[in-house]
Amino acid sequence: MTMTVADILGTRPGSGSALAVWELPDSVREAVGRDLALLDSPAADLDWATARCHQVFARLPTELLRGLLDFGRHPDTPGVALVGNLPQDPVLPPTPSDGRPSPAKESFVSEGVLLGLSGLLGEPVGMLTEKDGRIVHDVVPVPGGEHTQTNQGSRAFLNFHSDIVHDPVGRYDLAGPDFLVLNCLRADHAGEAVTYYADARDITASLGDDVLTTLRSPLFRLNAPGGYVRAHADGREVLSDPVPLISGAEAFPEITVAANGVRPLTGAADTALLRLQEVCRSVAQPVPLRPGQALLVNNRKGVHARSVFTPRYDGMDRWLQRTYVRRSLWTIRHRASPTARRVHF
């Protein structure tokens, strides 16, 4: 069954941790779409493209613009937001089957939507260990990757996780994105795919004191992302220093969980990790993305997951585009590529 915006809003009580939902008025969608239809490939001059998309999205209605800006600024705002009635490319080529950009895509409206929304939250950033450093990621089911805990998967539930980045200092949570933006170009055939978001505020409110104390202790090691371990460790674990999974102020907690695995260091930590996974499932907000919708995900206020769905590899499979966004590039300046200042090691 397809969920409407009203259905989604009705699934959770109104609070700072609930899903925020915005829609562009039709006239605004049409005006933004006309401007974005004139874009060349953003990859040709990324800083020019981000400036142009920022200019286009700065003309959104003031209350909508304020809501999007506040979403990226304040600790008491929701950790996940759905933006609807967005402009779409007039013609889509077949969904790429290799996780790379489609060379047959002749317009760049979806890329403009991503960069416009991302620019309201912070700075789009690329990581060389994720999609070869590209700023716009094509997230599609890939043959052979069906059961992996990666964005190539489909037939395995993608567990609740944060998007993290390997760092030789031993902390994988520091250099990662503050936000993800997911723009839906094409839904899966049967409408099975659902993105879930579990807010750390709801998670901590559902945990007992003993479990929460354990999760706030440095008793866990995160495995580096799958792309990194495949490229640099022949698939073997590359573990972080011992870290807590939950940190920060009680009212505004931060959570970090690796998709590629978490190694608990004690029996109590193992028990707490299992309880955390149970609670994530119980408090999660479901969002079935459809074309013309984008999901804004705070990567520090919560963790996200994806349901199982069935790919057909017929050119009409689910197709999302994604950006990583940081509030500032300054704190990761030591990782910047010498040839592309938005791309980092």
Q: Return binding residues for Fe cation.
A: 304
CA distances from 57 to 24, 38, 86, 175, 297 (A): 11, 14, 11, 27, 18
Report the Cα 181 to chain-centroid distance in Å: 5
How far apart CA 58 and CA 119 sit, in angstroms, is 10
Q: Are 320 and 197 in contact (CB under 8 A)?
A: no
Exposed e or buried b per residue across 246-283, where buried means at least 16 C-beta atoms within 10 angstroms of its C-beta: bbbeeeebbbbbbbbbbbbeeeebbebbebbbebbeeb
| Size of the chain, expressed as the number of residues it contains | 345
**Residue positions forming the annotated binding site:** 304
C-alpha span between 314 and 98 (Å, rounded)? 13
- Three-point CA angle 142, 124, 26, nearest 5°: 85
Give SS3 for 262: strand
Which residues, including other chains, have CB under 8 Å from residue 340's CB and lie 6 or more apart?
126, 133
Contact 296, 81 (CB under 8 A): yes
| Contacts by residues 171-174 (CB-CB < 8 Å, ≥ 24 positions apart) | 171/240, 171/241, 171/243, 172/222, 172/224, 172/240, 172/243, 172/256, 172/258, 173/222, 173/243, 173/256, 174/331
Runs of H (alpha helix) within the chain: 5-9, 26-36, 46-57, 62-73, 109-121, 200-205, 209-215, 226-232, 267-283
